[in-house]
Structure 1
Amino acid sequence: MSLLPSVRRPRERAMLTLEVLRAERLSPSFVRVTLGGAELGRFRPSGPDQAFRMFFRRPGQQRLAMPTFANEAWMAQLIMQPVSRRPWVRMYTVRAIRPQLGELDVEIALHEGEHGPSPATAWALSAAPGDPVGVFDEGYTFQPAPTARRQLLVGDESALPAVLAILDHASPDLRADVFLEVPTEADIRPGIHRPEGAVVHWLPRGDPALRPGARALEAVRGAELPAPPDYAWVAGESALATGVRRHLVNDRRLPKSAITFTGYWRHGHGSPG
């Protein structure tokens, strides 16, 4: 994440090794990968936008060489490994977890760059049962006040799983304005679970040349909201996150303390690791 919000991290964390149970293409731009394994019982569900580092093998690697440190020193340990052994690592959100079935779902937004598919995209498209996957809990950021009954939720495709999980766990009396930008109309999810008072605006980008997040930012700036939000959660491409926050503070006079904003990625910049 390039923008660091207030993160509620678990008191105890562990590097866990799971495996792919199945993979399913949801739409042109999304793959759902279901993970499981004996160590999943040590992964504790927390907030609705619970994030985790996911470690997966590079092409040609026969084994997954996970870090052993279960603290912030893991990154230095990872970098010290030669590339031939070092796994890829990316941040993802828990889309759903079913402890009674021993399953965790992660939805991966597929990205194609000028040099081909991203490492995570290539991995997701080829993921097969039994493939090893590492998981390290990073906590959650969605922390509205108990009195925040009207909320604003904004995200691009990288934040779609988190927003859908937030809606899954929302109070039935929540009133929310939700703006979700996705790459194509075929990526719109009909019939998603949401409280009756949550209005979802789907924003298919359509034009591949349009910067991701631009449509959502424009839509929020021009939106006639029925009432000012008590709390806003914004995530996705960094310009979307900072742009919406700036608009809410400067134009809608929302206190900075009532906004959680997270830049998951930067357009045109590859992820480290």
Structure 2
Amino acid sequence: MTLPVTRLQVVAVDRITPRTARVAFEAEELADTVGTAPDQQLKLCFPRPGQREPLLPAGQDDPMGWYQAYLAIPEAERPVLRSFTLRRRHPGTRRIEIDFVLHGDAGPAAAWALRAAPGDRLGMVGPSALYAPAVPFAEAGKDADWLLLAGDETALPAVATLLEALPEGERAYVWIEVADRAERQELTSRAELEVRWLYRDGAAPGSLLVEEFRDTVLPGGEPLVWLAGEAGAVRAVRRFLIEGEGVPKENIDFTGYWRHRLGQDDAPTEEDLADARERLASSS
């Protein structure tokens, strides 16, 4: 199975909250089966300064060949990669939507999104079923009494797609930490939802989410938990659930999307590496 590599052109930009831009793209190539499942991960390729659009690695039959082709591009011309979750694929078209959290112009992705306009071009690697994460709730009725999805604003695209995929009659709790009340988004699902919005209002990222878990009595029974967001907060919540609530490790799907005070290009910490090893072990 090959990993799609294609160019994208911006067709619309919608500021859905003061700090979130939803960008609609038209892909040059996109198979009908791509991006139809929830929580689909992909990489966007951003141009280097002075480039109108990024250079892209050549497509490869080997699913990991794209990365070797990427490294073969001279470093000064090599596109900047950032990981995202596909928010929506419009059926029967090559149109997709991706949400960008706007947290200033220090990072290449946020800086690009602040200025994005129709006609701008990026590259995309993925999404692909080969690297699609297992949806932990596909057979939740067999394995758990209830579901919990928790994270910050960076997790909202994935949370929204997971909720939209839940069947009628499922019971799910959703806890989302955002900057303030203006960052709330509408979440829809056929499942029975209980949604809590946590507003930082200047507090440290992840702090309210950690406090919410420590201060709340969780429902009885065995849950399935999906966690994503700031890596330190995800790590603290996961540790609390395992050590404080007795939730089995295998019942928690967790991802640290970003790190407070550290960029994606900074070296991983020992805790980051430990998380990666544990995620790899749980998926094997």
Give TM class, smaller chain. 0.7 to 0.9
2:189 corresponds to: 194
Matches within 5 A, 1:52-91: 52-68=42-58, 70=60, 71-91=63-83
C-alpha deviations, 1:44-78, integer Å up to 9, x for none?
12531111011122332123201225433544543
1:125 corresponds to: 114
Structure 1 residue runs of 4 or more that deviate by more than 4 Å after TM superposition: none
Matches within 5 A, 1:208-219: 210-219=203-212
Matches within 5 A, 1:134-213: 134-136=123-125, 137=127, 138-144=131-137, 146=139, 147=142, 148=144, 150-189=146-185, 191-207=186-202, 210-213=203-206
CA distance, structure 1, for counterparts of residue 261 and residue 135 of structure 2: 27
Identity, in percent, stands at: 34
CA RMSD, aligned part only?
A: 2.1
Judge conservation of contact 2:13–2:24 (CA < 8 Å) in 1.
yes
SS in structure 2 opposite 1:251? helix
Segment drifting more, 255-264 vs 81-90: 81-90
Q: Rate the CA distance shift 1:192–1:145 in 2: closer, same or farther, 3 A.
A: closer
- The unaligned stretches of length 5 or more in structure 1 are 1-10
2:22 corresponds to: 32
Judge conservation of contact 1:154–1:234 (CA < 8 Å) in 2.
yes
Relative contact order: is structure 1 or structure 2 higher (C-alpha 8 Å, sep ≥ 6)? 1
CA distance, structure 2, for counterparts of residue 188 and residue 63 of structure 1: 33
CA distance, structure 2, for counterparts of residue 267 and residue 251 of structure 1: 25
2:220 corresponds to: 227
Deviation at 1:222, TM superposition (A): 1.7
Q: Rate the CA distance shift 1:61–1:43 in 2: closer, same or farther, 3 A.
A: farther
Judge conservation of contact 1:32–1:108 (CA < 8 Å) in 2.
yes
Q: Alignment partner for residue 265 of structure 1, among 248, 254, 258?
A: 258
C-alpha deviations, 1:105-162, integer Å up to 9, x for none?
11111123xxx43211111121122222212224224323512451110111111111
CA distance, structure 2, for counterparts of residue 258 and residue 79 of structure 1: 36
- The unaligned stretches of length 5 or more in structure 2 are 267-284
Amino acid in structure 1 at the alignment position of 2:82: R
Matching of residue 100 in structure 1 with residue 100 in structure 2: no
In the comparison of the two structures, how many residue pairs are matched? 257
1:249 corresponds to: 242
Amino acid in structure 1 at the alignment position of 2:78: R
CA distance, structure 2, for counterparts of residue 242 and residue 95 of structure 1: 25
Segment drifting more, 141-150 vs 120-129: 141-150
Amino acid in structure 2 at the alignment position of 1:185: R
Segment drifting more, 92-101 vs 78-87: 78-87
Q: Rate the CA distance shift 1:65–1:97 in 2: closer, same or farther, 3 A.
A: same
